[in-house]
Amino acid sequence: MKLGKPLNKMRDKQLNLLFQLKNYSKQFQQKSFAPELDNVIYFPSFTNCIGTHIVERFSDTKKNILEKISIIIKDILYSKNYTSHLLYFNKSFKDYNKIIVTWAFKENFNSKGVLKDKYFNISSDQQKKTLWFVIFMGNSTPKKLKKNIVLLKMFSSKIFGNIIVLKNFFSNFIYIFKNLDYLLFINSNHNFFSKKMVNFLKPFLNNQVKYLLMPYEGQPFQNEIISYIKQEKNKIKTIGYIHSPPLAMPSNFLYKYNSPDKIILNGKDQEKCFTKILGWKKSKVFLFPSFRFLKNKTNIKKNLIYLPLNVRDIKIVYNSIKFLDNNNFINLVKFSVKKHPAGNSEKNYKTKKMIENLIKDAVSVKSKNKENFLIFIGSSGAIIEALERGNKVIQISDQPILDIYSDAIWPSIKRTKLSDNIFLYNLKKKGDLIKLGSNIKNLSKIFN
């Protein structure tokens, strides 16, 4: 199969989309939207929520009205999962001047109750005078917790969950007279959680605390925490660490009124994107080798097809894999499928089964390419990690404007079009998208 020329037409569309979203969100920094301002605005390009619906509207992504309504309703109703909570902590632990707000599952704790944080690659007992505020995402909580850990577990109130969500919706209904989109954002599950989260964190923000650090994703609860600190605890310095590999469409990282005082990035391409495109001031941006992605640690395997958080179009995935196989670009019988850990929708399971059947029915042939490829479906930052580790990468996308990487945003990327929905990637230079880190002993250098 003959490869096409490098595709450049998409770069203007992607840049224009980011600038449109930036200008759109600025309107919510006006006093008329106080006190929330743009805290409630969240533009992920990789999942289904109200913010993604707005991103797709600006990108002219075609969805029927029922799909759009379904996304909005599911987002709002998901708030019921945050209507009850359990908070575990040791009241005797008071000797801390730093707080790290992070996420974890049960498997991230050892038998002694020590947290091994996957975003910073350190254990909770390695960082002195630090309180770890952990948003717990599993079902069964650890049997033991070290005294410097606060564990917050949210779940649905079986009796009053829907009533609480409806009450919240109608209490915010006044925003319909200001802006319909804002009404949707302020009723999203992300914003519902942000109010809960800040109230749980407040008692731990005592006068001894000098720093608050977060693996930063631009989520509403993170900006709500920063907003509270600026207003009530302004001596605390807020630090955000961009733990995820660069996404093709980094719209969730657009600068907000209540963004961190300091943001930690892992590569020169990221620095350019944040300062030139996403609106961050250079004085707030600092470069460090990755804490999460280390030179000597990788879980990436060869000949895998990775599914995204949400599969959009099964037909495009099917036709694209058939195209690669029929043109002998890959030897499909050598591949296996890996589901996203949180991708538990019916469509995701159907896609996995469909690909496995294709692999089962495939005939072993000699591929025209000797390389072992990794195939990613949809949006995935793991594409960048794979490239930085020297892997050959193919991406299948049904929404290229949201999924595919452009050198206008990420200069180190080289992209080649194989078909309308299939793209091949290489790096012009390693280390500028993610500079892989070394073994981490503590985080003291980022608190200076």
Q: How far apart are CA 155 and CA 162, in angstroms?
A: 12
* Domain contains 145: yes
Residue 445: burial class (beta carbons within 10 Å; 0-12, 13-18, 19+): exposed
What percent of the chain has pLDDT above 90? 79
Residue 419, beta-bridge partner list: 422
* Domain contains 93: yes
Amino acid at 173: F
Q: Determine the straight-line distance between the first and last CA of the chain, rounded to whole angstroms.
A: 53
Q: How far apart are CA 157 and CA 189, in angstroms?
A: 15
Structure tokens at 346: 């019916």
SS3 state at 338: strand
Going by C-beta distance under 8 Å and a sequence separation of 6 or more, which residues neighbour residue 43?
21, 25, 51, 52, 54, 55, 218, 251, 252, 254
The residue ranking higher by pLDDT, 61 or 106, is: 106
* pLDDT tens string 168-216: 999 999 999 999 999 999 999 999 999 999 999 999 999 999 999 999 9
Which whole number is the average pLDDT over 290-299? 85
Strand ranges for 179-333 from DSSP E: 211-215, 237-241, 262-265, 285-287, 304-306
Is residue 394 pLDDT above 80, yes or no?
yes
> Which CA distances in Å does 246 have to 37, 48, 91, 329?
26, 19, 39, 27
Lowest-pLDDT range of 4-8, 92-96, 252-256: 4-8
Vertex 406: Cα angle to 401 and 412 (nearest 5): 160
Number of domains, the chain: 1
Chain-wide mean pLDDT for the chain?
Answer: 92
Q: Please give the pLDDT value at position 3.
A: 46
Q: Does residue 37 come out as left (phi exceeding 0), alpha (psi in the -120 to 50 range) or beta?
A: left
> Which CA distances in Å does 96 have to 101, 122, 130, 209, 446?
14, 17, 5, 7, 17
Residue 437, beta-bridge partner list: 294
Going by C-beta distance under 8 Å and a sequence separation of 6 or more, which residues neighbour residue 89?
145, 149, 150, 151
* pLDDT tens string 363-380: 765 555 556 789 999 999
Q: How far apart are CA 43 and CA 26, in angstroms?
A: 13
Amino acid at 16: N
* pLDDT tens string 33-89: 999 999 999 999 988 899 999 999 999 777 788 989 999 999 999 999 999 999 999
* Domain contains 430: no
* Domain contains 120: yes
Nearest to 374 by CA among 362, 382, 366: 382
pLDDT band at 361 (very low <50, low <70, confident <90, very high): confident
* Domain contains 74: no
* Domain contains 115: yes
Q: Give the residue carrying structure tokens 């995820």.
A: 244
Which whole number is the average pLDDT over 351-361? 92
Q: Which domain holds residue 109?
A: 84-153
* pLDDT tens string 134-165: 999 988 999 999 999 999 999 999 889 999 99
Diameter over CA atoms, the chain: 67
> Which CA distances in Å does 146 have to 91, 114, 209, 380, 405?
12, 6, 19, 34, 42
Structure tokens at 186: 């302020």
Q: How far apart are CA 238 and CA 222, in angstroms?
A: 10
Amino acid at 94: K
* Domain contains 199: no
Q: CB–CB of 17/55 below 8 Å?
A: yes
* Domain contains 132: yes
Which whole number is the average pLDDT over 5-27? 85
